[in-house]
Amino acid sequence: MKFKNIIFLKSCKKAADFPKYPYPEFAFLGRSNVGKSSLINMITGIKGLVKTGSRPGLTQAVNFFVADDKLSIVDLPGYGYAKAPSEIRSSFMPMIKSYIAARNNLKLAFLLIDIRRIADEREGEILNLLAKAKIPTAIIMTKCDKLSNNQIQSAIAKTTKAFGIDSDSIFITSAETQKGKKEILDLISNFSSSNSSAKVES
Ligand code: GTP
Ligand code: MG
């Protein structure tokens, strides 16, 4: 799958402003600075579509994109950025929670984890919220260009153990080398056209 035309629709801080449309939706969630926005740029093939940067807490609202008038992609703020001003920081988790609760058209959520980190209770909390809302979820381990193949295998093993999941539910990506692009696009394509739940946690 390849996107021809992606439009930025809107940026919202509260659920009442979220767009209403029937498109199957795909959301990118995870800790601040994990690489959500970079991954969206990678899979869409549009480098500057979403702002990215080394300063954590860059994405501060829920950003909605529509691809080829047939599906939507959502970039969310990241949780866990200790240095953001407190009123901004404390707004991110409620925003993420209200997003998960509000989106009936959410087909698949991607939970991103930096491959150099061990997932902790924050990721557990998000996974629980998604499971409660019955939203299929795929785990993406980002920035794999930072590790050797052996280290990658060890990180996958730790994450499968931490969550009690199968390694088939985990995708390895790099926005630098484009690794994982085809796999993520294939998953989006399968989920846009069917109720497939292959290779993901539900
Ligand atoms: P917030 O919006 O703050 O929640 O962050 P984010 O999760 O959207 O992260 P973003 O995409 O802005 O990337 C954060 C930093 O990590 C940037 O400096 C990116 O260049 C870098 N980065 C993202 N993905 C990769 C990757 O795959 N490999 C490497 N080496 N760096 C990456
Ligand atoms: Mg971002």
pLDDT in tens, 14-43: 999 999 998 999 999 999 999 999 999 999
How far apart, in Å, do the first and last CA atoms of the chain sit?
24
- pLDDT tens column, 145-162: 999 999 999 999 999 988
Beta bridge partners of 79: 31
The mean predicted confidence, pLDDT, of the chain is 89
What is the domain count for the chain?
A: 1
Beta bridge partners of 108: 26
Residue of higher predicted confidence among 60 and 74: 74
| pLDDT computed for residue 55 by the predictor | 80
Residue of higher predicted confidence among 129 and 195: 129
Question: Rounded to whole angstroms, how far apart are CA atoms 118 and 113?
Answer: 8
- Cα of 116 from ligand 1 centre, angstroms: 13
Q: What is the DSSP letter of 190?
A: H
- Cα of 36 from ligand 2 centre, angstroms: 5
Please give all residues whose beta carbon lies within 6 A of any atom in ligand 1, as ranges.
32-38, 52-54, 56-59, 77-78, 142-143, 145-146, 174-176
- Cα of 177 from ligand 1 centre, angstroms: 13
Residue 98 forms part of a structural domain: yes
Q: Which of 157, 170, 163 is nearest to 128 (CA)?
A: 163
Query: How many CA atoms does the CB half-sphere of 113 hold within 13 Å?
Result: 27
Phi, psi at residue 150, to the nearest 5°? -65, -45
Mean pLDDT in residue range 125-141: 94
CATH number of the domain that residue 102 is part of = 3.40.50.300
pTM of the model: 0.93
| pLDDT computed for residue 197 by the predictor | 44
pLDDT at residue 198 is higher than 70: no
- pLDDT tens column, 67-103: 999 999 999 999 887 666 676 667 788 899 999 999 9
Q: How far is CA 27 from CA 71, 99, 102, 157, 188, in A?
A: 11, 10, 13, 25, 10
Return the percentage of the chain with pLDDT > 90, whole number. Answer: 68
- Cα of 195 from ligand 1 centre, angstroms: 30
Q: How far is CA 106 from CA 1, 34, 172, in A?
A: 19, 21, 22
State the pLDDT confidence band at 58, using cuts at 50, 70 and 90.
confident
| pLDDT computed for residue 7 by the predictor | 94
Q: Quick check: 200 and 168 in contact, CB under 8 A? A: no
Residue 196 forms part of a structural domain: no
Beta bridge partners of 113: 141
Ligand 1 atom 22 nearest Cα: 35
> From the alpha carbon of 60, which atom of ligand 1 is closest?
2
pLDDT at residue 52 is higher than 60: yes
Domain range enclosing 127: 6-11+18-191
Residue 198 forms part of a structural domain: no
> From the alpha carbon of 177, which atom of ligand 1 is closest?
27
Residue 181 forms part of a structural domain: yes
Ligand 1 atom 14 nearest Cα: 33
| pLDDT computed for residue 99 by the predictor | 96
Q: Which of 70, 56, 62 is nearest to 12 (CA)?
A: 62
